[in-house]
Structure 1
Amino acid sequence: MHLLIKYGYDGTKFEGFDRSNSKNSVESVIINVLSEYNITKNIESAARTDKNVSAAGNVFYIKTEERPEKILGILNGNIKNMFFHSYYLSNSYINPRYNSMKIYKYIIPYRIDSRLKNNIARFLGTHDFTNFSKNDYRNPVRTINKIEFEEYNDFTVVNFYGKSFVWHQLRSIIGFAMHSDEDPFSIKYHNRFLAEPEPLILYDIIYDNISFIKYRFNNRYIKNKYNSLFIESIIYRVFLRSIDV
């Protein structure tokens, strides 16, 4: 059986994503658990996020004879700061990198103005992102299909839609847009502004003709974490108000 597993993780709790980075990388931790239970010694990942970047809907592939529910139960029961929530089972191999769309979210901790929105919107479409990525062997020409802005009381979420992105591309876009009103594709230098990784989330990966099955698991850890961090954020907001008085 060929299995795709969709999962999320708090990127700040791991030493990067790639297994070569550390025993505490996202890939290494998953592989170690799957190997311990004699399920597999290797996974194929759909996306490799930067260090401290989180995910809600990354995907990996394995070949196995075990039931998907058993595998997701093992992973959720043995790995902290990750959650494995959906799967797709196939009779034939599926390359997890051949997706139709990736969705990333970047959280800006304030309501942004029209100037910043316009600066970010300039990156929409197909462009050569040589000056807005960490150069490697991949072609830097990429297409951003859509950019959306979600506005809340005291923060903004920027949604990027595209089939593929190059290393540091989205953080470079946000950093440049915050610091410059220039036309990004007229500059002759490499962008020196790189936004912080922690607010970036790989929200979802979408495939043509594939519908993932939701796995029912105990999400008490996520709810408890949310509640504790929410209270902590309120406490520090009170601290700031007391200092500003």
Structure 2
Amino acid sequence: MRVALRVAYDGSRYHGFQYQPDVPTIEGALRKALSELGLELVGYASRTDAGAHARYQVVVVEGDPELAQPDPINARLPKDIRVIAKTEVHEEFDPRRDALRKEYRYFLGPLNRPEAAARAARKLEGKHDFSAFRREDGRNPIITVERCELVEITPNAYVLRVVAPRFLWEMVRRIAGFVWEVGHGLREEGDAEALLSGKFEPSKKPRCLPAEGLILWHIEYDEVRFERTKAWFEDHKVIQLGGRLLLRLPEGAESC
């Protein structure tokens, strides 16, 4: 049996999840800590961008299950990366392909036209061509967005929730960019139809908001349940991170 670990992190100091030589990454820090225990990282659910955060990343490790415990791993990790739960999984488990759906949240801050922004978000739900909401990577752009919802978490401070079985490169950040533009009167909510048609002017693509406002919030699997442990990531840490993100308004965002 392999062990799946649920990992949370503040990605502010890191150049993304995926390992890169000579720069700090989440995967690099995890591999170093795991290797000291004779464990090997063999898979992960999502390759988050530089500066992005996670409340619910999933990695799979091989080695002695007795050593694949949150406490000894956390003792070897930086404080802004925490293993918060574990569970045993079968040898064929793939944390990326076996995910039923993922939820991302983007912290948008205040909006001048929140009602229009909320309607714009809802227009993106359903099965559409999201070519206008990605950086080209050759993957099929037809995706079913199960939920795209604007939530007011404090007076005039908003978070965008996006749920789908899979996502394209920069997709959530560009969806957030579209909703933010509508919320500030820079674009009309009706523009969604043209953007989702697959026939759009490249210059009209939504801006790509900074990764610093993005959190990988949840991943749903079939019959995978994580054991709650002493190392469970305290909710107040997520709340504190969210509060910081709301102060980083994406007004200076440039298109990627």
**Smaller-chain TM-score range?**
0.7 to 0.9
Change beyond 3 A, Cα 1:127–1:8: same
> Counterparts of 2:105 and 2:127 in 1: how far apart (Å)?
19
Residues 40-85 of structure 1, C-alpha deviations (whole Å, 9 max, x = no match): 2x331111111111000010111222326x5311221121211111
SS in 1 for 2:178: helix
Structure 1 residue 47 corresponds to structure 2 residue 46: yes
* Structure 2 residue aligned with 1:61: 60
- Alignment counterpart, residue 193 of structure 1, candidates 194, 207, 224: 207
* Structure 1 residue aligned with 2:252: none
Please say if residues 15 and 21 of structure 1, whose CA atoms lie closer than 8 Å, have aligned partners that are also in contact: no
Please say if residues 17 and 27 of structure 2, whose CA atoms lie closer than 8 Å, have aligned partners that are also in contact: yes
Q: What are the residue-to-residue correspondences of 1:1-245 with 2, within 5 Å?
A: 1-20=1-20, 22-40=22-40, 42-67=41-66, 70-80=68-78, 81-97=80-96, 98-110=98-110, 113-151=114-152, 152-177=154-179, 178=181, 179-181=186-188, 182=191, 183=193, 184-186=195-197, 188-190=200-202, 191-217=205-231, 226=240
Any stretches of 5+ residues in structure 1 without a counterpart? 234-245
Q: CA RMSD in A?
A: 2.6
Change beyond 3 A, Cα 1:175–1:38: same
State the TM-score, normalizing by the size of structure 1: 0.83
Change beyond 3 A, Cα 1:102–1:219: closer
> Counterparts of 2:124 and 2:233 in 1: how far apart (Å)?
37
Q: Which has the larger radius of gyration?
A: 1
Whichever residue aligns with residue 83 of structure 2, its letter is F
Q: Which runs of 4+ in 1 moved over 6 A?
A: none
Give the Å deviation of 1:211.
1.3
Residues 6-48 of structure 1, C-alpha deviations (whole Å, 9 max, x = no match): 11111111112111365411111101111122222x3311111
Change beyond 3 A, Cα 1:91–1:165: closer
> Counterparts of 1:154 and 1:200 in 2: how far apart (Å)?
18
> Counterparts of 1:119 and 1:127 in 2: how far apart (Å)?
14
